[in-house]
Each structure stands twice: as structure tokens, then as C-alpha cells.
Structure 1
Amino acid sequence: MPQLAAIVIHCRDPYLMAPFWSQVTGLPVAAEDRIKLADRTLGPTESVLLRHPAGSGPDIWIAPAGDLPPVGRIHLDLVAEDDELAAVVAAGATVRHTLPRWTVLTDPEGHEFCLFRRH
């Protein structure tokens, strides 16, 4: 069976989105991409890699795309402690609505994602 290797998040501004998703997921930006983000030297179609240092779990690629459909391009479900919601909002997320077991949020470009409460 195929295995999940990566999640690709298409966006308008990888300089905005890569740091946001790095902070929210805890996955660091790859060293070579960290330099390009700091120097603002990404190529027009160049993606940014978020990868766990131990190589465990899927990678996340933040990929620029010129033509994007409205909201609904991706949907991630994350599991977090109750007190981590505030940190996600401080990173730039917006709460859309709260349900008994999870909160629906949007990232800075409007992608919806859910933050489930860890039991």
C-alpha cells in the first residue's frame, strides 16, 4: 500500500505561510529554505520544506501557486492540548467556530483546519 510521504499546502505567499505552518505543526523549516526565507530569495515556483529533524512523519511542502480556488484547498486535523489553541491563534490563525471536541480555524490565507482536543 502507498504511504503518506508529504502534505502540500498551495498558497499565495510562502514567506507568510511557511513560518505559520512551521510554528503550528512544530515542524522546522529545512535549513536551506530557512536561509531563503530570511533573505527572501525563493524562486517564483520554489516550495518550502517543513521536516521533522528525525525524519519521522510526513513532510509538509508550502508551495506557491498562481491560480488558487477559494477556501477548501486543504484541510488538516491537528491534535493539541487545550492551552495550545491560544498559541495557534497568536501565530496568525483565526477561530471560525468551536464545537465540543474541536475548533475550526483558518490560517492566514483562509485555509480551514481543525484543532482537536487531546483526551
Structure 2
Amino acid sequence: MSLATWKDLCIDALEPDTMGAFWAPVLGLERDVVKPHATALLGSAPYQRVWVNHVDRPKTVKHRVHLDVATAAIEDLVALGATVVAPMEETGLGWTLMADPEGGEFCAFLRDPADLPAYRLRAVGVDCADAAAQAAWWGEVFGVTPTTHDGWVTLERATPDPLIELDFAPVPEPRQGPNRVHWDVTGEVRPLLERGATVLWEMPDWRVLADPEGNEFCVFPPPRA
């Protein structure tokens, strides 16, 4: 039984219009400007929505939460405004580390054009002090069992899309400041607080909580019957 369900993703940006114009084609979404300080990116399903929200603080540290995307060619992402940070040919890893127009890290995985999905989010990566504990906590929230790999822990089917994973990886550096990427959930606040979440602040329509390692996420109440 889950405590909450996946709602959507949010990306903080100095310039939401510019970043929305970048992330829409990267993720295979359509851009829809809906309010002065935010841009909504829309897909064929509600869970694919990505909000690009204005903040006044520039990126200063490596993303604690980042997106993994599928692409037919690294050159396609560069043409949209991304930069290559570490090519997979040099690192020996299965992905290329890239940066968006505001310097935010993300990982690009090559796929055959015939196999490229319409929605190109592959996974959400989360840096952790204790990856196993974080995956276990979020596994309880989403009602799924973590899978342990060599070096990281994965939650499969935490979102409505069975192809999207949440990957928790241990890192030595501590978390510094607010994340620039977070997800929203739908659920009741009290059960999350009872299991170790904390309230950061309250908004008229949602509450901003932090998980046990301080990562922000927003909780929206379930629809009324």
C-alpha cells in the first residue's frame, strides 16, 4: 500500500521560458506558458507534466537530483543548447554527462531512433548520503520494493510509467541548499510526517515537505470524491 502517488516534476530556473524551450524537446513534451513565473511542459498523460518554475538563485553546486533522458544523438541535445560535460567514450560509462543552458547536470542515454519513446524521461537520479535508506523510505511512500544494484538502489514502477526509474546513488559530498529538481506527489501529509518527513512551509493548495535527507517535495491533497 502506498502513502502517496506520483504527480509531476518541477525544475527551478532563472529563466523559465528559456529553460522550458530547452526541456520541452529534450523530454518530448509541448510547452505551455500558464503563468508569469512558471512554464508547464505537457505530454499525453498528466504524470508527464513538468513545471519549470522561476527562482532568483543561480545554480552553485552539482544537482542533488537530476534527470536521465533518452536521445537518438548527443548532437541533437547540443543543438538545443546543452553542453557535453563528460562523454561516455571518455568515462567508460553507459551515458554522457551533460549540462542544460543554466548549467544543471543531466545524463543522456543513446537509443536507436526507432526505439526512442515519445516521452524521453528515462529515470530520476538522486544523490544520497545513504542510498539504501533513502530508497527504502521512498519505496514505502510509493508502495514499491527497492532493487539493489552494484553501487545504487532503484525503485521501479514508482511512477505510472513502468519505464521510468528512481535511482538512488551514494555520494560523499553533503547536500547544500535547495534542490533545483524535485517531484510532487498526491497524498495525505500526516502519514508522511509520521514516517520522518518534515514540513518546510505551507502553501494555499499544497505543502512543501522534506524527506529524511532534506530533499524537498510537494504534497497535494487527493481529489475529493
TM > 0.5 fold call: yes
2:214 is equivalent to residue 110 of structure 1: yes
Q: Residues of 2 paired with 1:64 and 1:96: CA distance? A: 24
Query: Could you tell me how far 1:75 is from its partner in structure 2?
Result: 1.4
Deviations 1:38-73 (A, max 9, x none): xxxx86xx1101112997252101111112441323
**Partner in structure 1 of residue 170 of structure 2:** 64
Which of the pair has more CA radius of gyration?
Answer: 2
For structure 1, the 5+ residue unaligned runs are 34-41
* 8 Å contact kept, 2:157–2:163: yes
> Which consecutive aligned stretches of 4+ in structure 1 deviate over 4 angstroms post-superposition?
none
Q: CA RMSD in A?
A: 2.4
Q: Structure 2 length normalisation: TM-score?
A: 0.41
**Partner in structure 1 of residue 186 of structure 2:** 79
Identity, % of aligned positions: 30
Q: How is 1:1-119 mapped onto 2 (pairs within 5 angstroms)?
A: 1=28, 2=70, 3-30=120-147, 33=148, 46-52=151-157, 56=162, 58-73=164-179, 74-80=181-187, 84-119=188-223
For structure 2, the 5+ residue unaligned runs are 1-27, 29-69, 71-119
Q: Select the structure that is richer in strand.
A: 2
- Higher relative contact order at CA 8 Å, sep ≥6: structure 1 or structure 2? 1
